[in-house]
Each structure stands twice: as C-alpha cells, then as structure tokens.
Amino acid sequence: MINIAIRFDDPSATSNHALEQEIIRLLEHHQISATFAVIPLHEGRPVEKDTAAHLVEAEAAGIIEIAQHGFRHFENESLNGRPSELAGIDTSTQSNWILDGMDILQQLIGHKITGLVPPFNSFDDNTLRAAEAAGFEYLSAGFECHPSHPTSLALIPRTCNFCELIPALNEAHAYRFAAPAIVAVLHHYDFIESGHTNARLSLSTFDRLLGQIRQLPKVKFLTLEALAATRSPEAWQAACNRSQVIRRLPWRLQSLLPKHCLPTGWLWTQLRIPKG
C-alpha cells in the first residue's frame, strides 16, 4: 500500500478563503481527506469562526484535518542558512507560542489539535520538547531537520510538492515492498487562480489529478493524523534516519534510491541496486 497525505499550508484569517473553499469542494467531490496546516495568528488577526467557517465546516465533515502551522509564521531566525520561525528560540518561548496558537485553533474547532507543522519546514530540539509537552502526536516538517534524541512524536516529513506527486507515485511504486508514504505539500501560490506569477497548478488540473490517483489500486489518501497512526514514533524516526543516510550518500547512489517518498518499512532487505 502507498499512503499519500496532502498537506495544504498557510490558511489563516487573512488567506485566500475563496481558493480554500474550491480546494475543499474538490477534496469532497473525490472523497479525499487532507491536512490543512492553519496559521493561528497572522498579521495580528487570529483565525476565528466568523472568518473561517469553511474550515470549521470541512473539519467537522471529515474532509480536512486542521493542524497547527506555527504561531505567527514569520521569519524569526535562520537555521543553517534556512528561514525558520521556531528553530533557534529557547524552549520556554517556543512553548508559549505553541500553546497560544493551540488555544486559538482549539477554540476554533472545539477539540484537541494533534499535529504541528513548523513554518518553513524547520525545527530544533527545543521545538520537539515544546511540542511533546503540549501533547502533540506528530510533527511534519522537512527531511533537512532531525532530532538528536528519541522523541514521542511521529516525525512525518514533507516528501514532495504536489506538482511532483506523479513522479513521487512512480518512485513509490518501485519501493512498494517498503510501505512508502508520500507527503505532498500545497500552498496558495501553487495555484494559477491565486494570481501568483510562478504558479504551476490550476484547480482543473488539481481536480483531474485527484480523480486519476483516486482510481489507482493500492493507493490510499490519509490525513497526517491518520498517517501518523500507521506506525509507532520509533518506526517513523527510524524511517527518517534511513532517509538521512541516503542523503549523505554519493549522488550516483542517491539517484538509485527514493527521494520523493519515505519508505516506512525496512528498505535494504529487498533492495537491488543495478550493477554498472
């Protein structure tokens, strides 16, 4: 089985709600659930029921899972030259931000938030401590970040952009013996309808791709919360560690190994690297 999670980042009080409503409509049409990583407080405005009714209704209907996308989604520090809101900040401050954001989102939907999606896909060990203390069950960021110690959180990294989903599926099919997972990330600016000049995806193409993939055998769409429950935190961390090993190999070897999906089962026992 190939598990796919769609992660749509950046819905907020100030985001393009009309575009979000269309995405939700298409997800519902194809009977697919996705994870919306919502910014609790953006440009000083908390996400509230009067401006985010579409999110509340979709979450209640099971079309989306709402995860927490940081707190304010601003670039506060740099992690190894990469932007980050949380990494580099002390544990106490991160904990306060995370708990404040969690409170806003839990007031919005009326129940516990289980997933943390750090802005810019970056975090550090202090983020993990704060997230564990807050009671999160999973954290979804990037392959580039990994903890220096075991964690009680299921670590589920983004594996590709949604526009790379077909190549990711082709790759995952080759590693289907290792129970591959794909986390395909979307942003508003990916859609031509957003008006962004570099957008590569239209709503009609999104609709078509969902329909095509939905019909594939042994492919299943899950929310990140449901995907997290398919493995123990230890198994997720082991999968991420194997991915880190792959990314340290010479590029010729890397080209023979998965880069757009995350094998969650044991990879090496059945892997056959071609000679020559």
Contact 87, 122 (CB under 8 A): yes
Q: What one-character DSSP code corresponds to residue 248? A: T
Higher pLDDT, 257 or 183: 183
**% of the chain beyond a pLDDT of 70:** 93
- Which CB contacts under 8 angstroms, 24+ apart, belong to 215-221? 216/169, 218/1, 218/2, 218/176, 219/1, 219/2, 219/4, 219/169, 220/1, 220/2, 220/3, 220/4, 221/4, 221/5, 221/6, 221/32, 221/33, 221/34
Predicted pLDDT at 10: 97
Predicted pLDDT at 80: 64
Alpha-carbon span 179 to 265, nearest angstrom: 5
**Domains of the chain and CATH, by start:** 2-263 (3.20.20.370)
Alpha-carbon span 6 to 229, nearest angstrom: 16
Predicted pLDDT at 150: 87
Please indicate, yes or no, whether the overall pTM of this predicted structure exceeds 0.85: yes
The DSSP H or E segment spanning 126 is helix 125-134
The pLDDT of 9-22, averaged and rounded, is 97
CA 110 to chain centre: 22
β-strand pairing of 82-84 with 77-79: antiparallel
β-strand pairing of 82-84 with 45-46: unpaired
In the predicted model, is pLDDT for residue 144 greater than 80? no
In the predicted model, is pLDDT for residue 203 greater than 70? yes
Sequence-ordered list of residues with C-beta below 8 angstroms from that of 269, at least 6 positions apart, any chain: none
For tokens 């031509």, the residue is 192
The pLDDT of 141-155, averaged and rounded, is 84
Within 10 angstroms of residue 206's Cβ, the number of other Cβ atoms is 22
Predicted pLDDT at 243: 83
pLDDT band (50, 70, 90) for residue 270: very low
Shortest CA distance to 5 belongs to which of 233, 229, 205?
A: 229
Alpha-carbon span 135 to 115, nearest angstrom: 9
The pLDDT of 23-28, averaged and rounded, is 98
The pLDDT of 172-177, averaged and rounded, is 91
In the predicted model, is pLDDT for residue 183 greater than 80? yes
In the predicted model, is pLDDT for residue 266 greater than 90? no
Contact 87, 124 (CB under 8 A): yes
Within 10 angstroms of residue 214's Cβ, the number of other Cβ atoms is 14
- In a 13 Å sphere around the CA of 70, the CA atoms on its Cβ side amount to 24
Contact 127, 94 (CB under 8 A): yes
Alpha-carbon span 156 to 116, nearest angstrom: 10
Alpha-carbon span 39 to 27, nearest angstrom: 21
In the predicted model, is pLDDT for residue 145 greater than 80? no
Q: Report the mean per-residue pLDDT for the chain.
A: 91
pLDDT band (50, 70, 90) for residue 24: very high
